[in-house]
Amino acid sequence: MKSIFLSLVLLATSFGVLAEAPKKVVTIVNPFSVSGLTDLVARMAAEKSRDKFPNGTIIVSRPGAGGSIGIASVTNAPRDGSTIGFTPTGSVVDLPQMQELPYKNPDDLEPIINVMASYQLLAVSADSKWKTLKEYVDDARAAPGKLSMGHTGRGTASHLNMAQLVSAARLDLIEIPYTGWAQSSVALLGRHVDAIVINPGEGRQLIQQGRIRVLGVFQPQRVPFYPDVPTFKEAGYDVGVSLKFFFFGPKGMDPAVRQYMHDAFKAVMDDPEFKSFLQSREVVADYMDGPATKAMLWSEFRSHTALLESLGLKARP
């Protein structure tokens, strides 16, 4: 009997960590505002996986300080899986390098699963004279310090994308930070800024109405939602800040519960309605398990260090 029990244990171990459902209600923390992309995807994932969590799930928004308030609340939570979070990479990759936070780097949390990938776009008003990315870059070079570009705040992905482009293309632009898409789009349409960096989905309605034009995509490959828009890499500029969104728990989270949650959310990613929802937001599913997500975060963390230093955003020890 003892040998049979041992064999069963070894067999289970050979297939990895045994999955175990959380024993409490699971709070999923959204570290950004209600109705934003992070919030909407987290809610859809919770809805699609509700039959996997016997005690239920609730979504709590804890916005502020670039997402660090919500993330810190998860890193300080019990390790039993009763509190997890859903966040884009920037709040884990960039913020800890820019300021003093309760969490210092990707090792201070426990990734569960990466769910999707996003990207950003460079847009101008539809009645501007620039029809192509090359025309905009050529004019910016010909008139240093004259053209302007807006982003959504110092240290955000849109700011880092703009900074990479300015460096790679050797441009001298007027940098104009805004508090978000609502403000920057009004400025663009009112001709207060020449170009802006936007997230996918944000400009969909204005693009369909023919009021703004997308000139370039900040990632290596073209995206299916804008098949005719070239990437910056095609134009000769190897720029583009990675944007991933992942579920995570506190460091040292119960491995069995973590595995259970991974499996539950992986099933959600395979759900046709969830895939359609992502497509409606012009983002794509991008599966990575916990270890692969941790490796991705560290790669981004290290690669952004020099960029943040060049912009004077790197916190001094």
Dump pLDDT digits (tens) for 51-94: 999 999 999 999 988 899 999 999 999 999 999 999 999 999 99
The CATH code of the domain that includes 207 is 3.40.190.10
Return d(Cα 95, Cα 98) in angstroms, integer: 5
Beta strands in 62-190 (DSSP E): 83-88, 109-118, 121-125, 148-151, 174-177
Judging by beta carbons within 10 Å of its beta carbon (0-12, 13-18, 19+), is residue 236 exposed, middle or buried? exposed
Return d(Cα 100, Cα 122) in angstroms, integer: 31
Would you say residue 5 lies in a domain? no
Strand partners, 229: none
Would you say residue 230 lies in a domain? no
Would you say residue 227 lies in a domain? no
Alpha helix locations (H) across 94-232? 95-98, 133-142, 157-169, 181-189, 204-208
Q: Do 213 and 115 touch, CB atoms closer than 8 A?
A: no
pLDDT at 227: 93
Would you say residue 2 lies in a domain? no
pLDDT at 5: 41
The CATH code of the domain that includes 291 is 3.40.190.150
pLDDT per position as a tens digit, 223-261: 999 999 999 999 999 999 889 999 999 999 999 999 999
Q: Assign 3-state DSSP to the chain and report helix, strand, coil percentages, each to 5.
A: 40, 20, 40
Indicate whether 210 and 154 sit together in one domain.
Answer: yes
Indicate whether 111 and 142 sit together in one domain.
Answer: no
Residue 317 tokens read as: 């020890």
Return d(Cα 45, Cα 291) in angstroms, integer: 21
pLDDT per position as a tens digit, 145-160: 999 999 988 888 999 9
Would you say residue 1 lies in a domain? no
Classified as helix, coil or strand, 114 is strand
Would you say residue 305 lies in a domain? yes
- 14-18, 106-110, 121-125, 302-306: range with lowest mean pLDDT: 14-18
pLDDT above 90: residue 6: no
Indicate whether 86 and 164 sit together in one domain.
Answer: no
Angle between helices 255-269 and 272-280 in degrees, nearest 10: 70
Q: Which one-letter DSSP state was computed for residue 90?
A: H
Indicate whether 211 and 266 sit together in one domain.
Answer: no
pLDDT at 8: 41
Indicate whether 259 and 300 sit together in one domain.
Answer: yes
Q: Angle at CA 124, nearest 5°, toward 123 and 128?
A: 160
pTM of the full structure = 0.88
Would you say residue 228 lies in a domain? no
Q: How many domains is the chain partitioned into structurally?
A: 2
Domain that holds residue 267: 16-117+245-310
